[in-house]
């Protein structure tokens, strides 16, 4: 496993995009002690206190996955991270908030951003950006509901140990994905935050009540609205309300 550590990067994902990915070994990790412009979902900024957390990007080459099924890779990463966090905390109630944030006690502990490149209707490369809150204990007020491993268990965690445990879990589920995507989807749905629970959301800017049923093959969230019936929600259309 090739781990390339940098004291400071603008963004580990952006750094990966400058590499010749054909020449980079699969499971290469680009890691930064601090990021000056970390990237989150929907173009948001990922803020992380320097040297306190894990901020890295993992390069995969899942050529066995058709382009139309690329969301299974996102599911796989989320399942692996959720299980790794659960084992670290000895806590079973770790969930995946659609599409791929990791939540515990209604708080966000990890964000994931997967960027895939398509060639001949298959995935050629994927850059998986992962930001896991480990030892940070104070966060800016404008960040919604953050939490860290240390805030949850009061312990200072060795970042190297947490990283290697996380990568081994990803390897495990990556190998499962090669032979059985159904198992990955079942594991993802079993950990899906608010699944089967009626709650309030904003859909296209309008408040609605609904129940999450699952996720379709394109990664859209399937929501049963109390007055609109079944809705397949795209990432930019739905907002969770707390």
DSSP code string of 51-78: TTSEEEEEEE--TTSBGGGTHHHHHHHH
Q: CB–CB of 79/169 below 8 Å?
A: no
- DSSP letter assigned to residue 57: E
Are 76 and 100 in contact by the 8 Å Cβ rule? The answer is no
Domain boundaries in the chain?
3-190, 198-240
Q: Name the one residue in this structure whose structure tokens are 């404008």.
A: 142
pLDDT in tens, 116-136: 999 989 999 999 999 999 999
Q: What is residue 208's predicted lDDT score, i.e. its pLDDT?
A: 95
Distance CA 188, CA 98 (A): 10
Which two structure tokens, joined as six digits, stand for 1? Answer: 């496993």
Give mean pLDDT, residues 10-15. 92
173-189 tens-digit pLDDT: 999 999 989 999 999 99
Fold of 3-190: BirA Bifunctional Protein; domain 2 (3.30.930)
| CB-based burial, 12-22: b 16+ in 10 Å, e otherwise | bbbbbeeeebe
The per-residue pLDDT for 242 is 85
Look at residue 39 in the predicted model and tell me its pLDDT. Answer: 61
Higher local confidence (pLDDT), 41 or 101: 101
pLDDT band, very low/low/confident/very high, at 144 (cuts 50, 70, 90): confident
Q: What is the pLDDT of residue 92?
A: 84
- Are the CB atoms for 12 and 40 separated by under 8 Å? no
Residues 39-63: pLDDT tens digits?
655 555 667 889 999 999 999 999 9
Q: What's the pLDDT at 44?
A: 59
pTM given for the model = 0.93
- What's the full length of the chain, in residues? 242
Tens-digit pLDDT profile for residues 27-39: 999 999 998 876 6
């Amino acid at each position: 496993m090739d781990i390339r550590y940098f004291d400071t990067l603008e963004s580990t994902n952006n750094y990966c995009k400058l590499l010749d990915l054909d020449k980079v070994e699969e499971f290469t990790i680009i890691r930064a002690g601090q990021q000056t412009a970390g990237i989150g979902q929907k173009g948001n900024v990922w803020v992380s206190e320097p040297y306190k957390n894990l901020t890295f990007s993992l390069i995969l080459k899942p050529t066995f996955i058709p382009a139309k099924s690329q969301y299974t890779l996102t599911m796989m990463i989320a399942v692996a991270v959720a299980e790794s966090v659960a084992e670290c905390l000895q806590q079973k109630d770790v969930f995946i908030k659609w599409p791929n944030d990791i939540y515990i006690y209604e708080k966000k502990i990890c964000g994931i951003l997967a960027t895939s490149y398509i060639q001949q209707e298959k995935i050629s490369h994927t850059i998986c950006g992962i930001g896991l809150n480990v030892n940070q204990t104070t966060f800016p007020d404008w960040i919604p509901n953050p939490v860290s491993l240390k805030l949850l268990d009061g312990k200072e965690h060795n970042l190297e140990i947490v990283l290697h445990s996380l990568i081994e879990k990803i390897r495990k589920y990556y190998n499962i994905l090669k032979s059985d995507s159904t198992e990955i989807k079942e594991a993802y749905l079993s950990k899906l935050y608010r699944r089967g629970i009626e709650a309030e959301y904003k859909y296209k800017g309008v408040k609605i009540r609904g129940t999450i049923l699952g996720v379709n093959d394109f990664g859209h969230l399937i929501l049963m609205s109390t007055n609109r019936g079944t809705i397949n929600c795209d990432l930019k259309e739905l907002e969770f309300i707390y």
